[in-house]
Amino acid sequence: MVRQHRENRSAFCRVRCPDCENEQVIFEKASTVVDCAVCGHVLAEPTGGKAAIKAEIKAKLQ
């Protein structure tokens, strides 16, 4: 029996800053604002659950 388990457990994702194109790994459920390490652009804002990602998501990491 082949069954795909697609549990949504990815906690981190790699995003690219829309301003300076810096790629950075952020926590998807960030509880604080996450800034770009290079230019300070806000990449994610906490919403109480999953953070609101304000940047381009390049990849999800497990």
Our finding on whether 22 is near Zn ion (CB under 5 A) is: yes
Comparing CB distances to Zn ion, the nearer of 20 and 59 is 20
Our finding on whether 46 is near Zn ion (CB under 5 A) is: no
Our finding on whether 53 is near Zn ion (CB under 5 A) is: no
Whole-Å CA distances, 51 to 3, 4, 21: 30, 26, 20
Q: Which of 30, 34, 36, 44 binds Zn ion (CB under 5 A)?
A: 36
Comparing CB distances to Zn ion, the nearer of 22 and 53 is 22
Beta strands of 1-50 (E only): which ranges?
A: 12-16, 23-27, 34-35, 42-45
